[in-house]
């Protein structure tokens, strides 16, 4: 039985690597350039896509202050990674990520910025961070909890640009480029469509 489980896990991991390769073949630029469009409509599309993967903690819409438009920003709550038993959740971009989240506690959080330009266009910057739970010892471990650990050295979480502080109890694993690409691809499909007519009550994808 153990051999069957090991073989199954290996096959899932290999399929995850293959799907990751396919996902990374066609790179969507990050930040994503957006052609001139109504700012409110662009912001609604960004919020809707982020809400498909995360619960939004803070939403700060860009505002026009004189001739200057401020940067819009969305911060999300940390979301526990979806496992192999949760296929309806899309925050684990590959089967390998699902296997990883099944075997250990992983979570993700996102920070999205909409950077406006003077000509009405914008850049959408998507950053997704992975974190691994820092536990004192593995569950069901035979070692006593009073045993001293010699591996609790200080760990630094460093990002060259836009680094985010990692809360205690979690170990930063860097960015998640696969999920970033999935979100950017969905944004590209949405933003390539024209906005709905003013005052239209139907969803824009049913109008056009």
Higher local confidence (pLDDT), 52 or 140: 52
User: What is the spatial distance between Cα 134 and Cα 152, in angstroms, rounded to a whole number?
Assistant: 10
pTM tops 0.85: no
Asked if residue 7 belongs to a domain, the reply is yes
Tell whether 204 is covered by a domain.
no
In a domain, 160, yes or no: no
**CA 31 to CA 41: how far, in whole Å?**
18
Tally: H helices and E strands in the chain:
5, 9
Three-state SS at 111: strand
Q: Give the structural domain span for 102.
A: 2-134+167-195
Nearest Cα to 42, choosing from 62, 65, 16, 27? 62
Is there a cis peptide before residue 31, judged by omega within 30 degrees of 0?
Answer: yes
Residue 206: inside a domain: no
pLDDT tens by residue, 8-58: 554 444 444 444 434 344 688 888 999 888 888 999 999 999 999 999 999
Number of folded domains that form the chain: 1
Q: How many CA atoms lie within 13 A of 156 on its CB side?
A: 3
The more confidently predicted of residues 124 and 158 is 124
> Six-digit token pair at 77?
């709550």
Q: Is residue 153 part of a domain?
A: no
- Asked, for residue 157, whether it belongs to a domain, the answer is no
Check residues 44 and 148 and name the one with the higher pLDDT. 44
């Amino acid at each position: 039985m153990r051999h069957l489980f090991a073989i199954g896990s290996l096959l899932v991991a290999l399929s995850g690597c293959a799907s990751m390769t396919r996902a990374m073949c066609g790179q969507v630029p990050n930040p994503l350039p957006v052609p001139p469009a109504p700012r409110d409509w662009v912001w609604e599309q960004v919020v809707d896509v982020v809400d498909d993967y995360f619960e939004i903690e803070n939403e700060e819409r860009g505002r026009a202050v004189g001739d200057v438009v401020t940067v819009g920003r969305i911060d999300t709550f940390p979301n526990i990674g979806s496992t192999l038993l949760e296929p309806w959740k899309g925050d684990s971009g590959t089967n390998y990520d699902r296997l990883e989240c099944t075997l250990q506690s992983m979570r993700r959080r996102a920070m999205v910025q909409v950077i406006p330009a003077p000509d009405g266009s914008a850049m959408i910057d998507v950053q997704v961070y992975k974190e691994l739970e820092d536990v004192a010892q593995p569950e069901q471990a035979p070692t006593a909890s009073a045993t001293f650990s010699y591996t609790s050295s200080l760990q630094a979480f460093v990002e060259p640009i836009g680094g985010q502080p990692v809360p205690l109890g979690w170990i930063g694993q860097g960015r998640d480029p696969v999920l970033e690409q999935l979100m950017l691809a969905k944004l590209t499909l949405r933003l390539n469509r024209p906005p709905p007519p003013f005052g239209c009550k139907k969803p824009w994808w049913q109008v056009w």
